[in-house]
Amino acid sequence: MTTHPNTPAGWYADPQGTPNLLRYWDGAQWTPHTHPGQPGQVPQQQLPADPTKIQRQVQKQAGVTPVMGGGGTLFSEPVLVVNQKAKLIELTNEYSVFDQHGQTLGTVVEVGQSALKKVARFVSSLDQFMTHTLEIRDASGQPQLVLTRPRKFMKSRVLVQRPDGQPVGEIVQQNVIGKINFSIESGGQTLGAIKAENWRAWNFAIVDHTDTEVARITKTWEGLAKTMFTTADNYVLQIHRPLQDPLLSLVIATALTVDTALKQDARGFG
């Protein structure tokens, strides 16, 4: 299909020619959102989020006032909204990432899942003891960070790398009882910490090496029905001041994978 600025937003055959694959055209550009099938067959839950809903989530549910500035990318926006795709049965983790105005910035996708791991996730919580790998991708679908949580028993750690394999740092769980805390480490140095603000590990404060809060993760309430009958988790990250790498990338990695990499560990004793 040939698209131009006057083409209405909607699901169309993938421009790369992939058979039986639809890609979402937002009215101006192709997005990372894809779905197998033919036009007209896309479930409503696969549609990109309503910008008005995103803004309400940020301002009303998370209590974050509009913040000026932002460069329009995963690593330059002061507020990130991370919404998991709702599924009745969660076999593969998928998240969409938006800015505070509802514009798509990227996605988080779990990769390399074996059939055994999907079965374990379906019948039990044993998959939390298996290795998980997630890619953080920008709006064009290009990987920006790769996170690997090796198999664990009690405490977990998350390895953060660039797509070319260059290490960025680690997020290391410090305790298993009480409010869960993680250290942010890179090159053998502790750059900061992630501190759960309650025993269920719903909200987190992110601090630097001086124990000064530099960012905050707030879970947003999606309503009783959605909370009871799906496994979707939605979060808002607010970065209080400009950060430098590797701390910036590690804070982004933390927020964009908080459910699989961090909060999932608290379910066993939350």
What residues form DSSP beta bridges with 48? none
Q: Using CA atoms, how far apart are residues 39 and 1, in angstroms rounded to an integer?
A: 12
The model's confidence at residue 176, banded by pLDDT at 50, 70 and 90, is confident
DSSP reduced 3-state for 160: strand
Q: Using CA atoms, how far apart are residues 47 and 33, in angstroms rounded to an integer?
A: 8
Q: What is the pLDDT of residues 130-163, one digit of tens each?
A: 678 889 998 888 899 999 988 766 677 899 999 9
Q: Using CA atoms, how far apart are residues 158 and 118, in angstroms rounded to an integer?
A: 20
- Helix residue ranges per DSSP H, 185-263: 224-229, 247-256
Residue 9 confidence (pLDDT): 67
Give the range among 1-10, 60-69, 177-186 with minimum mean pLDDT: 1-10
Report CA-CA distances (Å) from 162 to 119, 137, 144, 243.
30, 11, 6, 18
Token output for 254: 């933390």
pTM for the model stands at: 0.72
Q: Using CA atoms, how far apart are residues 171 and 193, in angstroms rounded to an integer?
A: 8
Token output for 44: 């409503």
Dihedral sign computed on CA atoms, order 122, 126, 132, 136 = positive
Q: Using CA atoms, how far apart are residues 249 and 258, in angstroms rounded to an integer?
A: 14
Asked if 50 and 62 touch (Cβ cutoff 8 Å), the reply is: no
Query: Quick one: what percent of the chain has pLDDT higher than 70?
Result: 70
Q: Among 85, 68, 82, which residue's Cα sits nearest to residue 34? A: 85
Specify the DSSP element, H or E, that contains 252.
Answer: helix 247-256
The structural domains of the chain, ordered by start, are 1-48 (no CATH), 50-269 (2.40.160.200)
